[in-house]
Amino acid sequence: MEVIFIKNLKNQGKVGQIKKVKDGYAENYLIKNGYAVKKTKENLAKLNHEQEKKAKQDENNKKEAESLKKELSKVTLEFKVKTGEADKVFGSISAKQIKDELKKLGFNIEKNAIEISSPIATLGFHNINITLYQNVVATIKIHVIK
């Protein structure tokens, strides 16, 4: 029997995948527990409709991320920090601080999207990457002053 997976099942199938399995396994486990449905014309049409809908949604999300990337590329955040001898910065700038500053400017960015490769603990300009969507990464400038 051929089934269409409607939920991911480890080592068996992913959502939207069509797979041939034994009848008993399909009826007694996959279909009964809601992991899959029988492959029929109606279910195939439903699957195609869902995939088209998801593709349109992905395209819209990517366009939104691209426009947000353009806006963020113009942003320079300024952080005033305390320094010690020889302009050594006390502490470093965290992702949460960057998130909070972006929120003040009207950007709603998740903290885990902000990528800080090395601690921002020196005066001057630093570039920070923000992952907005798959393969859409914005770069903002951070200016650390005393």
The predicted-structure confidence for 46-94, as pLDDT tens digits, reads as follows: 989 989 999 999 999 999 999 999 999 888 999 998 888 887 888 889 9
Let me know whether 72 and 55 are in one domain.
no
Arithmetic mean of pLDDT, 118-124: 88
The residue range of the domain holding 17 is 2-61
Residues 36 and 27: beta-carbon distance below 8 Å:
no
H or E segment to which residue 103 belongs: helix 95-104
Arithmetic mean of pLDDT, 120-134: 90
Is residue 5 very low, low, confident or very high in pLDDT (cuts 50, 70, 90)?
A: very high
Let me know whether 138 and 72 are in one domain.
yes
113 — alpha (psi -120 to 50), left (phi > 0) or beta?
A: alpha
Let me know whether 27 and 73 are in one domain.
no
Is residue 114 very low, low, confident or very high in pLDDT (cuts 50, 70, 90)?
A: very high
Let me know whether 52 and 119 are in one domain.
no
Residue 134 has pLDDT above 90, yes or no: no
CATH number reported for the structural domain that contains residue 40 in this entry: 3.40.5.10
Look at the pTM and tell me if it is higher than 0.85.
no
Residue 36 has pLDDT above 90, yes or no: yes
Q: Per DSSP, what are the bridge partners of residue 19?
A: 3
> End-to-end CA distance of the chain, in Å?
70
The single residue listed with the structure tokens 């909070």 is 100
Let me know whether 120 and 132 are in one domain.
yes
Let me know whether 80 and 134 are in one domain.
yes
Kindly list the strands in the beta sheet with 18-20, ordered across the sheet, starting from the edge strand earlier in the chain: 18-20, 2-5, 36-38
Let me know whether 57 and 82 are in one domain.
no
Residues 138 and 118: beta-carbon distance below 8 Å:
no
